[in-house]
A and B are shown apart, each in its own frame.
Chain A
Amino acid sequence: MTIRRVVTLSFVILAGALASGADATPPKDAVVIGLLAEPVTMDPAQVTDLNSARITKRIFEGLVAQELGSYKLIPGLARSWDISKDGLIYTFNLRPNVTFHDGTPFNAEAVKFCFERQLNEQGPYYKTGTYPYVKGFLGNVQSVEVVNPLTVQIKLKSPLTPFLQYLAHQSLFFYSPDALKKYGKDMVKNPVGTGPFKLETWEPGVKVVLTRNDQYWGGPPKIRQAIYVPIIEAQARLAAIKTGEIDLTIDVPPDSLDSLRKDPNITVAEANSSAVWYVTLNTRHPILKDKRVRQAMNLAVNKDAIVKDILKGTAIVSTGPMSPVYGPFHEDKTARYPYDPEKAKALLKEAGYPNGFEITFLVPESGSGMQQPVEMGTVIQAQLQAVGIKAKIQTMEWGAYLKKYLDAPDMAEMSWNPSIGDPDHVTYMLLSSDRFPPAFNAGFFQNARVDELLRKGRTTVGDAERATIYKEAQRIIADEAPWIFIDHGRQIIIHRKRVQGFKLHPNFDLVLSQVWLQ
């Protein structure tokens, strides 16, 4: 009897839930965005992951900004700036009448406060966080000086051209000094910035709701709210976008793209990104130190097939470290390595390995930006085998992998999605001999001319001069083949047709200021 009652009751509840739930439709003035995971922190200075960046960049701003769709720098909270002839003094003229979401005025004092919070280890607010990038981005800063309330001067220890791009990175965005004093360490869940959106609620694991800032200096955004929900499973993201539970998402299963493109309610927006996926070759390895061997390995791998069959067209073949999104800095005429196993065999023979050799190949199970590491690794292994190179695959979990990667592996997969829009952040970061492990030049690539060019590129001012420098560096790097160049992942954003005006940005950001709803 009781069991029957329980069953009946359950069905009644279920039916009620079904009926009420099925009615839920997205509100007319809010965009619902499905992210791969929930944000980690709301303190821009502590953000190291893409999901947190995608949200904090709506709430916070820096002195300079990137033009939507490119890495061109445009005024942010600074209206204009001036760089001294010696490249050491940066003077910023701040935008007047800007306030943080809590009413605190944004001014030169606030700039100084935020930078010193991270820089000054003895400062009263240093312990309100841990700052992953401070040495990298602010390590070269000599001082931050308030000239007057709307003018701030940053002095560098030595010239560093990418510094201006660093200022467009979220770790140097501004958090309200008054709010920081109020919240202390708990500021990580209480973001207070100057940006077009402010935090409404954050239910951990459930959703983040941002509401537009009607007082925004650049004019309020067109949508009233942005709601971010974490959807970990790719199939679930696909279901949610198809049914209209969410308006916009990323990273659906690649084989579902064709059906999504045919869906009349859905737009698939695609663009190249700054990401690069490669196989690091250890240039100190007794066999791999021969350039011909590394070139042969590049010729042996069929990158077109990887891009077409494994990645289903969600990437473009790479010919060097920098993707085409770097515009004037990108060298298109690098030595190309078309799939040519015969030529690879000839080169191996010339290098003294007519019967190939054995080598270990590190492959992560998964990992940030790693696309499909196991499948790709298996194909690369098979293609190397075809020219006689026996690569023994070792797979491991991402955290363990990162440690092993910096421990001089023979060859290992890696990907890099630079958060800084300067060519320096790909080339110097990954291929300068200043960046041997524990930094990320894990293959110990060292070329005197490349080193010279990359150091010169960091201090040279002027896009035209720098373009010449980086183009030459790319040509040498491609010829030296310190990596097996594989692909540059494309950004693929899927959104419902009601979302209008959406535009992709090269570093995977999801910008909403210009978006409206139909």
Chain B
Amino acid sequence: MAAVGGGGLPAYALRRLLLAIPVLFGVSVLVFAVLHLAPGDPAAIMLGAQATKEDVERLRRDLGLDEPLVVQYLNWIGQVARGDLGRSIPLGRAVLPEVLLRFKATLLLTAGALAIAVLLGLIAGIVSAVKQYSWLDRMSMGVAVTGVSLPVFWTGIMLIIVFALQLRWFPSSGMSSPYGSGVADVLWHLVLPAVTLGTASAAALARLTRSSVLEIIRQDYVRSARAKGLAERAVIARHVLKNAVNPIITVLGVQVGFLLGGAILTETVFSWPGLGSMMVRAIQARDYPLVQGGVLLIATTFVLVNLVVDLLYAVFDPRIRYD
């Protein structure tokens, strides 16, 4: 790969990282406000019907929920600045190790889904473009349109019914067997959730790859490459793909965000022990510290992924420089 403009890239990366601070600060205000302004009270949800007035008041006081919102926010953001995300309300456990642990599972699921999306999406997209208007093209684009339209929870339940209940090829839920362990066991559990989550992205990617490749394939330099007698496979690999890759990377970056979001539903359907399934429960319980911590972590990841995507442009396309 061609060299990137002298010293420009690190400086650019640093500038972008500094810019992330106000973004994350904004996220913290927003998530705090939305959560606390939404109706519902963690103390009341925990206590249910046998609550006594005294217990609700005492619990609110012990949790610091009787203070004005601004004070509660400042207390929290002060803690966050010191690297402490607080303690979950019903769990009583420190938030940071909790969300990091769950985030690992979410990353594994997202990576699995991304692998499926890239593998299926790129192959289907390239084949469709190269064999434009063939039955292969029509079939893969038909599947792609269906794939984009299917909601994750429906696909998930269908896969459970067919592959777990009927065929019994894969387990129905969880990240490992209750009594087994090991990498193979985790991979075995990963298949259905990753396919569920990756399908829609694969479909989106296939459509984009197809149009991107189709655009390049008609360029003059591709015709020249063919004219000088290069094999078709080499033309596609060396000349077409290299130039078609940038829009694909952009969409991949967006897809990572989409996958992190889609993971919430997929994790719930498959009881995958990730951040998403934990957040759903935390929101239902109005577990403010846990939701806030989780959202901050996701937002940070999103900012970083966007930065990496921008840096990757320069790596793949020497014409782009960050001076």
Contacts and interface: CB of A to CB of B under 8 A. Distances in A.
Nearest to A246: B178
Contact of A18 (B38, B188, B268, B269): B188
Size bracket of the B interface = 35 or more
Interface of B: 38-41, 43-56, 58-59, 62-63, 87, 89-93, 98, 101-102, 105, 115, 119, 122-123, 156-157, 160-161, 164-165, 168-180, 182, 184-185, 187-189, 191, 268-271, 273-274, 277-278, 281, 283-286
Classify the interface of chain B: helix, strand, loop or mixed: helix
A20 B188 contact: yes
Interface of A: 3, 6-7, 10, 13-14, 16-18, 20-22, 24, 26-27, 30, 32, 37, 40-41, 43, 46, 48-49, 129-136, 139, 185-186, 188-189, 203-207, 227, 229-233, 235-240, 242-243, 245-246, 368, 397-400, 402-404, 406, 414, 416, 418-420, 425, 429-430, 438-440
Nearest to A403: B39
A483 B271 CA distance: 37
Contact of B271 (A139, A230, A418): A230
Contact of B160 (A20, A133, A185, A236): A236
A21 B161 contact: no
A402 B273 contact: no
B271 A40 contact: no
A139 B52 CA distance: 10
Given A231-B174, A243-B171, 17 more contacts: A7-B119, A13-B187, A20-B188, A21-B188, A24-B180, A41-B91, A205-B273, A207-B176, A232-B173, A233-B268, A236-B173, A236-B270, A236-B271, A240-B171, A245-B177, A399-B286, A440-B49
18 contacts: A17-B184, A21-B171, A21-B188, A26-B179, A32-B178, A43-B92, A48-B90, A132-B55, A133-B55, A136-B51, A206-B174, A233-B156, A235-B165, A238-B165, A240-B173, A402-B45, A438-B44, A439-B51
Contact of A27 (B122, B157, B170, B179): B179
A398 B62 CA distance: 23
Contacts of B93: 186, 188-189
Nearest to B92: A188
Contact of B177 (A6, A21, A134): A21
A204 B45 contact: no
Given A231-B271, A400-B38, A438-B56, A40 B90 contact: yes
Contacts of B52: 135-136, 139, 439
Nearest to A429: B50
Given A188-B92, A236-B164, A400-B40, A37 B178 contact: no
A438 B50 CA distance: 11
Given A10-B119, A133-B50, A229-B178, A239 B188 contact: no
A30 B47 CA distance: 33
Q: Which of B178, B269, B284 has the most CB of A within 10 A?
A: B178
A243 B169 contact: no
A7 B122 CA distance: 12
A136 B172 contact: no
Nearest to B44: A402
Given A139-B52, A204-B98, A206-B174, A37 B281 contact: yes
A291 to B, nearest CB: 24
B39 A48 contact: no
Contact of A132 (B59, B105, B176): B59
Given A130-B62, A205-B274, A245-B172, A239 B160 contact: yes
A123 B156 CA distance: 50
